[in-house]
Every structure is written in C-alpha cells, then in structure tokens.
Homo-oligomer: A and B are copies of this chain.
Amino acid sequence: MTTQRRSVLKKLFLSFVSVTGIGLGAKATSSPGPQKEVDNIVYDQDVPLFSGCTKLGNLIFIAGKGAHVEPFEIKAHTEIVLKELEKELVKAGSSMDKVLKVSVFLNDINDYKGMNEVYKGRFGKKPPVRTTVAVAQGGVPGNSLVEMDCMAYI
C-alpha cells in the first residue's frame, strides 16, 4: 500500500509538473509567443505597402492617417483624421479611450490651436500622451493639414 500510495503521489506530482510545465514553457523559450496580426493593407501596384493596423498580443498600432479632401482647413482635417483613427481602433477591438500615445504632425504650427479645439476630449477622461510638431509645409503626404498615428491596447 505504501508503495502504491507513493506511486499515486508520484503520478500526481508528474501530472502537475506537466501542467505547470506547459504554463511556464509558454512564457519562456519553447512557445512562439503572440504573433502579429494586420488589417486594412494598402497595396502599391499589387504589392503590400503598409497596413492600417497591426496587433501584437494586446498592443495595437494604427498607421498615420491624413485628410485629403476639401475643405483644406485644420478643424475639418482634424475631425477626419480622428474619425479615421477611431474607425481603425474600433475595428481592431479597441477604442479612443484605450489609446496610449498619439503622434501629431501638423503642416503648419499656426494650426496648433485649431487642431487642439477639435482634438480635446476625444480620447476620454484619461487621454493618451501626445507629441506634436509641425513638419515642412506640404510635408504631410497628400496635402493633408495634419497626420496622426497612435498606439493603443485591447
């Protein structure tokens, strides 16, 4: 009986090692870990150029978004860009509230205030960090007055 009991204990022990072993292994070297997912791929002559969104685990990266339509006015363009970001975020299972960091590239530093007027409050009560600079005049592709990208989570 003693032997048998030990044998049961031993089996039990091995069984747990195995279970927890899988768990630990997944965090160490044996498992490949989370893999990238992408969405809204933009092609250039049928060749993949960039994605609108990439995801790794719970992290989400949204491509730089610009506005390319009339009116070429900062508030209108900021509105378009924010909506584009939100669309990608929601599609990826995230939201404006879950944005961690935003990069803002203005066409003209004089648009800083106008951009802020539309931007403020759009990311909830706990807004992301932000870095804003004005690049070269005409430096945002497609003549957009502002380009924004962001990092978020799910």
Q: Which A residues contact B (CB, under 8 angstroms)?
A: 1-2, 5, 8-9, 12-13, 15-17, 19-20, 23-24, 26-27, 33-34, 36-38, 41, 44-45, 47-54, 56, 58-59, 61-64, 98, 100-103, 105-106, 109, 112, 116-117, 119-121, 123-141, 147, 149, 151, 153-154
Contacts and interface: CB of A to CB of B under 8 A. Distances in A.
B54 A34 contact: no
B36 A116 contact: no
Contacts of A15: 13
* Copies of this subunit: 3
A119 to B, nearest CB: 7
B133 A140 contact: yes
25 contacts: A17-B19, A19-B20, A20-B23, A33-B154, A34-B58, A36-B98, A36-B100, A37-B126, A38-B126, A48-B123, A49-B120, A50-B129, A51-B126, A54-B129, A59-B100, A109-B138, A109-B139, A131-B147, A131-B149, A132-B141, A133-B135, A133-B140, A134-B135, A134-B139, A134-B140
